[in-house]
Chain A
Amino acid sequence: MLIYGLGLLALSYLAGQLFGDFLGEFIGVQANVGGVGFAMLTLVLLHNYFQKKHWIKGNFDDGIGFWSNLYIPVIVAMSASQNALLAFNHGILPLVAGILIVVLGFALVPLISTIKTTNE
Chain B
Amino acid sequence: MNIISFFEKNGMITSFMVIAIIMLISEQISTRILRKKIPGSAIAILIGLILAYYGGVQSGGEKGIADIAFFSGFKLVGGSMFRDFCIVATALGVSFPVIIQAGKAGVISLILGLVVSFVLGVLVGWAFDYHDAESLSTIGAGTLTFIVGPVTGSALGASSDVIALSVATGVVKAIAVTIFTPLIASKIQLNNPHSAMVFGGLMGTTSGVAAGLAATDQKLVPYGALTATFYTGLGCLLCPSVFYLLLKAIL
Contact = CB atoms under 8 A, between A and B. Distances in A.
Contacts of B102: 116-117
Interface residues of A, number: 76
A98 B225 CA distance: 20
A8 B172 CA distance: 36
Contacts of A77: 15, 19, 48, 74, 77-78, 82
A28 B202 CA distance: 23
A44 B116 CA distance: 32
A81 B92 contact: no
A102 B86 contact: no
B225 A80 contact: no
B45 A71 contact: no
A101 B23 CA distance: 30
- By DSSP majority rule, is chain B's interface helix, strand, loop, or mixed? helix
27 contacts: A10-B85, A16-B88, A30-B236, A33-B230, A33-B237, A36-B225, A37-B226, A65-B92, A70-B86, A71-B86, A72-B41, A74-B78, A76-B41, A79-B52, A81-B79, A84-B175, A87-B172, A93-B125, A94-B171, A97-B142, A97-B143, A101-B173, A109-B195, A113-B198, A115-B104, A115-B108, A117-B102
Interface of B: 15-16, 19-20, 22-23, 41, 44-49, 51-53, 55-57, 62-66, 71, 74-75, 77-79, 82-94, 96, 100-105, 108-109, 112-113, 116-117, 120-121, 124-125, 128, 139, 142-143, 147-148, 151, 164-165, 167-178, 180, 184, 188-190, 194-195, 198-199, 201-203, 206-207, 210-211, 214, 218, 221-222, 225-227, 229-230, 232-237
